[in-house]
């Protein structure tokens, strides 16, 4: 198998150059020593027009070749990942986030094939109209150009982001976490080795220092959008310092309001699912607000259930009183604004839907909120009144996800209002262009 | 006429308080001394949900009342404007930009009524679908929240921006140029005096120093988008320093490429219109590229015409040679990237459409570009290959304008790719929200 590397940890340079035979490798090393961040950004910029001009079939073929290349070189990826695991010495969930297995690589490969099968978001006519002066105006979708994606230690993000970038005709510059440096280099070396991919389409930045992040977010004119994926510290840093437009993702202080007309079984099912099914993700629930009229009955019931499921419950004074005998902690002001990302949840008793709306609009991160109610009018008031990306009536917050929404993939969940809001994938990685057809019109 | 002030220059405090009787005025001055920038931003934020909940008819009624108020208080506005003109001591085009006349106020008033007659961009269903698990997802348009608009000396921008903000259900914070301080205070005092407008919906920031700009562009959480309108220095400052998402507007280094198959009369008409009809605006043409095969015939012809129209022509070596005997200046590298905004234009001879595309994508500000050709295949190549907001085949760049596009108004022309690109108005002042309808679904 040409270019295949045995399942040992290869030297960095070798990982990067895998896919070339030895003579090519030496030649390339001479002609192209490790490029600087600036050079990589320029290479991506130069590749953007070529990516924009690829046909749907060409893009799909590239994605399918990438899937095949990852499959055939799984051992090489696992070796690089092993090196990361050894060097980083992480434990528990952090190690798990970094870990690649054959099964996980299979899922990544399947993800590439799924994206190949999705419709092409580029070249669509969004609107078309004629003006009284005879001008014909057509608004069509075009690639954004160059995406800059900054993320942490999950190496699957590397492939997911590349797949969405290529399908949407964009070049991509990746800056992953330093713990995953070997894994990412291996993945990118394999992805860039496929036939038909324009030179410069994928560039991986150095992850050993913050310098590459700084340079990336300052690169106006070279990069068209920055997408930070990761913890709130990373996102805050990028949003407040970037000179390139940003799609802010992620933080989710999500709420569930249990109205007095709620079906208690349904409310309990939704709360337990939203809190415990995967507590470390942004669409997990962090707060429960309970209508005062049902608080006496519902509060001890849900608190007991949550505690049985291993959840640490914090409660306002009234909820604490109603949970007497159960081990709840008092909630402080800080709790209402916090995204726990673990098996912890805070409960507050509210006077009704209006207070629930006011509380949520004040404290939430504008991600996903739920009302559980059998009262349609109140549900509508909640849906309209809440200023968040996704507002649910009788369903779990956990559905705020590109795949669950039916997009077939996800680049992130936008919590800002500009460009896109909520789960986003291919369509949101495009911009538009006006093509105007005239016959010599002047003003 | 209650609240009407005679056509003299009133004291600042009086202008601000116009619309209240004397007792109210004194009371208000005691209770509400001039708010700080921070307070004004918080007032706008607090007003946002109220604006979002106004019905279409309520918003239109507010706009019509604003139009009537400006009409009935024209003398007051003119007096304030006179004060600005006297204090600023500007001359020529700068004075003209600041100047208000009865006719100009009539046009501003008509603009308000036009916006009242446009369709409501809020509450529209963008998409709606069902998921296999029974969830119903609806994507609907919602207001952005709080707009921050930073502009220079044209006082009509104040009213245009307010009209678009109110119609799209947004609160607005305005920071105008200091030369127009009295005019803007007068206009905002009148606009905020109308019945039904939520308190805090319109806030005018202090224009005496840059401090308010700095505070506005740092106000993440209070302001949802910053729209800078003005010269490239202002826009550059805002784009590189804002922590709030920005819609970058304006700079236009627009090109016209005359292909070898162009109709010379049409090319001449388009070039003269695009350069001379209003040279100070961003959609005026700044560069002409000529196909080498027709350069010998077309270059001296267009250079002669341009010079006759008072245009200063700069030319590359070849165009200079072909213009022998005509007073052209040599173009330098700096010329190709420059937005002149005056009766000046640079000409370059290119090998063909590919070189034209490469030149434009390298030097343009990605605003508006034109190909004049009778060759459809070449026109398509140009339309696809150019990476600008608007690309024209056989029409003047001057059509890049919200009204000319049929939007009925314009907030600006976006030269970035995120959120919106090209002329934008009401639709682009909205975001979206997902409403998800369930029956107890969990993951």
pLDDT in tens, A192-203: 999 999 999 999
* Residues on chain B touching A421 (C-beta within 8 angstroms): 431-434
pLDDT, residue B17, reads 40
Q: How do residues B139-183 score in pLDDT, each as one tens digit?
A: 999 999 999 999 988 899 999 999 999 999 999 999 999 999 999
The pLDDT, as a whole number, for residue B2 is 35
pLDDT at B373 over 60: yes
Distance CA B312, CA A56 (A): 46
- Residue B33 pLDDT: 52
Cα–Cα distances in angstroms (integers) from residue A353 to residues A99, A195, B137, in the given order: 44, 57, 22
Kindly report the backbone phi and psi dihedral angles of residue A330, in degrees, each rounded to the nearest multiple of 5, phi listed first: -70, 135
Domain that holds residue A304: 254-404
Q: Does any domain span residue A443?
A: no
Is B405 in the A-facing interface, judged by CB distances under 8 Å?
A: yes
Please, how many CA atoms are within 13 Å of residue B301, restricted to the half-sphere of its CB? 14
Task: Please check whether residue A373 is in contact with residue A379, taking contact to mean a CB–CB distance below 8 angstroms.
Answer: yes
- Sort out which chain A residues have CB atoms less than 8 A from B247's CB and list them: 418
pLDDT-derived band at A10, boundaries 50, 70, 90: very low
Within a domain: A426: no
Residues B178, B296, single domain; the answer is no
Average pLDDT score over residue span A398-421:
94
CB-based contact A443 B388, cutoff 8 Å: no
* Residue B417 domain-assigned (yes or no): no
| Contact state of B399 with A135 under an 8 Å Cβ cutoff | yes
* Share of residues in chain A with pLDDT > 90 (%): 86
Q: What pLDDT is recorded for position B32?
A: 52
Residue scoring higher pLDDT (A14 or A345): A345
Amino acid A9: pLDDT: 34
Given B239, B399, B418, which is nearest A418 (Cβ)?
B418
Phi, psi of A329 (to 5 degrees): -105, 155
Return residues 317-356 of A near B (CB < 8 Å): none
CATH of the domain at B375: 3.40.309.10
- Cβ <8 Å between A393 and B419: no
Co-location of A157 and A295 in the same domain: no
Instruction: Using an 8 Å CB-CB cutoff, list chain A residues near B385.
Output: 49, 53
Confidence (pLDDT) at A8: 32
Whether B260 and B236 share a structural domain = no
Tell me what the mean pLDDT of segment B198-217 comes to.
95
Tokens of A176: 């992953």
d(CA A169, CA A127): 20
CB B384 within 8 A of CB B360: no
CA distance to partner chain A, nearest, from residue B284 (Å): 11
Residue B254 or B32, more confident: B254
Q: How confident is the model at residue A32, as a pLDDT?
A: 52
The pair of structure tokens assigned to B368 is 């508006």
Q: Which residues in chain B have Cβ-Cβ distances shorter than 8 Å to A144?
A: 417-418
The pLDDT value recorded for residue B250 is 76
CB within 8 Å: A391 and B247: no
Assess contact for A75 and A195: CB atoms under 8 A: no
Spatial separation of the C-alpha atoms in residues A53 and A58, rounded to whole Å: 10
A145 vs B392: CB contact, 8 Å cut-off?
Answer: no
Q: Determine, yes or no, domain membership for A337.
A: yes
**How does pLDDT run across A23-70, given as a tens digit for each residue?**
454 445 444 557 899 999 999 999 999 999 999 999 999 999 999 999
If asked whether residues B32 and B76 sit together in one domain, one would say yes
Asked if the structure places residue B413 within a domain, the reply is no
Least confident residue range of A16-25, B129-138, B174-183, B265-274: A16-25
Choose among A53, A395, A438: nearest Cβ to B436.
Answer: A395
Q: Quick count: other Cβ atoms within 10 Å of Cβ B46? A: 16
Q: Tell me whether residues A246 and B246 touch, CB distance under 8 A.
A: no
Asked if residue A93 and residue A217 are part of one domain, the reply reads yes
Are the C-beta atoms of B255 and B370 separated by less than 8 Å? yes
* Domain termination site, one of A404, A421, A438: A404
Read off φ and ψ for residue B52, nearest 5 degrees.
-65, -25
Q: State yes or no: pLDDT of A319 exceeds 70.
A: yes
> B417 and A441: CB-CB below 8 Å?
no
Q: What is the pLDDT of residue B376?
A: 98
- Mean pLDDT lowest for which of A397-401, B118-122, B230-234, B411-415? B230-234
Return the pLDDT at B125: 97
Give the one of B145, B243, B361 whose C-beta lies nearest to A239's C-beta: B243
B419–A421: do the CB atoms touch at under 8 Å? Answer: no
> Does A376 touch chain B if contact means CB atoms closer than 8 Å?
no
Q: What is the pLDDT of residue A33?
A: 52
Does B21 lie in the same domain as B141?
Answer: yes
A431 has a chain B CB within 8 A of its CB: yes
Give contacts of A 275-304 with B, CB under 8 A: 277
Tell whether A271 and A219 lie within a shared domain.
no
Looking at per-residue confidence, does A126 or A7 come out higher? A126
**Is the CB of A442 less than 8 angstroms away from the CB of B135?**
no
- Looking at chain B, the whole-number percentage of residues with pLDDT higher than 90 is 86
Q: B-chain residues within 8 Å CB-CB of A389?
A: 433-434
- Cross-chain Cβ contact B269/A440 below 8 Å: yes
Residue A150 has pLDDT above 70, yes or no: yes
pLDDT digits (tens, 9 = 90+) for B54-111: 999 999 999 999 999 999 999 999 999 999 999 998 888 889 889 999 999 999 999 9
Q: What CATH code is carried by the domain that includes residue A38? A: 3.40.605.10
| Per-residue confidence (pLDDT) for residue B304, from 0 to 100 | 98
| ipTM value for the complex | 0.89
Tell me which of A92-106, A265-279, B378-392 is least confident: A92-106
B323 domain-assigned: yes
B222 and B262 co-located in one domain: no
Q: How confident is the model at residue A92 (pLDDT cuts 50, 70, 90)?
A: confident
Tell me whether residue B337 is in a domain.
yes
What is the model's pLDDT at position A17?
A: 41
Q: Do A422 and B432 touch (CB under 8 A)?
A: yes
Q: From CA B376, how far away is CA B262, in angstroms rounded?
A: 11
Q: pLDDT: is A8 or A252 the higher one?
A: A252
Cα B427 from Cα B357, distance rounded (Å): 31
B244 pLDDT higher than 90: yes
Check whether A234 has a pLDDT greater than 50: yes
pLDDT-based confidence at residue A209 (cuts at 50, 70, 90): confident
Tally of domains in chain A: 2
Least confident of A33-37, A65-69, A360-364, B391-395: A33-37
Q: What is the pLDDT of residue B254?
A: 98
- The mean pLDDT of A63-86, rounded to a whole number, is 97
Q: Which pair of structure tokens corresponds to residue A405?
A: 């929404």
Q: What is the mean pLDDT of chain B?
A: 92
Q: Are residues A211 and A106 in the same domain?
A: yes
Optimal mutation site among B236, B261, B418, B421, interface A, most CBs of chain A within 10 A: B418
B261 and B221 share one domain: no
Cα pseudo-dihedral A437, A430, B433, A398, rounded to 10 = 160
pLDDT at B11: 38
Confidence bin at A14 (pLDDT 50/70/90): very low
Is B90 in the same domain as B220?
yes
pLDDT value for A93: 81
Is the residue at B320 inside a domain? yes
**B49 vs A contacts (CB less than 8 Å):** 361, 385, 387
**pLDDT score, position B231:** 83
Assess whether A233 and A332 both reside in one domain. no
For residues A339-363, average pLDDT: 96
């Amino acid at each position: 198998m040409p270019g295949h590397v045995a399942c040992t940890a290869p030297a960095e340079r070798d990982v990067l150059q895998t896919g070339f035979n030895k003579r090519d490798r030496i030649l390339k090393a001479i002609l192209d020593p490790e490029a600087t961040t600036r050079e990589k950004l320029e290479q991506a910029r130069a590749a953007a027009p070529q990516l924009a001009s690829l046909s749907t079939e060409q893009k799909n073929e590239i994605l399918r070749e990438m899937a095949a290349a990852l499959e055939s070189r799984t051992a090489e990826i696992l070796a690089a990942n092993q090196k990361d695991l050894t060097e980083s010495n992480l434990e528990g969930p952090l190690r798990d986030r970094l870990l690649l297995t054959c099964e996980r690589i299979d899922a990544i490969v399947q993800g590439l094939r799924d994206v190949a099968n999705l419709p092409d978001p580029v070249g669509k006519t969004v609107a078309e109209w004629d003006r009284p002066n005879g001008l014909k105006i057509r608004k069509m979708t075009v690639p954004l150009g160059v995406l800059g994606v900054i993320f942490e230690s999950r190496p699957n993000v590397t492939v997911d982001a590349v797949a969405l970038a290529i399908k949407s005709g964009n070049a991509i510059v990746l800056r992953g976490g330093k713990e995953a440096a070997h894994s990412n280099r291996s993945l990118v070396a394999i992805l860039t080795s496929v036939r038909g991919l324009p030179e410069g389409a994928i560039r991986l930045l150095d992850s050993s220092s913050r310098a590459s992040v700084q340079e990336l977010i300052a690169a106006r004119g070279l990069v068209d959008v920055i997408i930070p994926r990761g913890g709130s510290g990373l996102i805050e840093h990028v949003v407040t310092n970037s000179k390139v437009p940003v799609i802010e993702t992620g933080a989710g202080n999500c709420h569930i309001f249990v109205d007095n007309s709620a079906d208690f079984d349904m409310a309990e099912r939704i709360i337990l699912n939203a809190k415990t099914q995967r507590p470390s993700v942004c669409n997990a629930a962090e707060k429960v607000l309970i209508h005062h009229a049902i608080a006496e009955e519902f509060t001890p019931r849900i608190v007991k259930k949550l505690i049985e499921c291993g959840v640490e419950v914090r409660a306002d004074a009234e909820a604490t009183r109603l949970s007497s005998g159960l081990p709840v902690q008092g909630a402080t002001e800080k709790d209402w604004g916090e995204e726990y990302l673990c098996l912890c949840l805070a409960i507050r008793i509210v006077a009704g839907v209006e207070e629930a709306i006011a509380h949520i609009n004040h404290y939430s991160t504008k991600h996903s909120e739920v009302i559980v109610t059998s009262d349609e009018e109140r549900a509508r008031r909640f849906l309209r009144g809440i200023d968040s990306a996704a507002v649910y009536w009788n369903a779990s917050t956990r559905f705020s996800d590109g795949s669950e929404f039916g997009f077939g993939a996800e680049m992130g969940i936008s919590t800002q209002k500009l460009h896109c809001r909520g789960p986003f994938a291919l369509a949101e990685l495009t911009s538009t262009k006006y093509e105007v057809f005239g016959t010599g019109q002047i003003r």
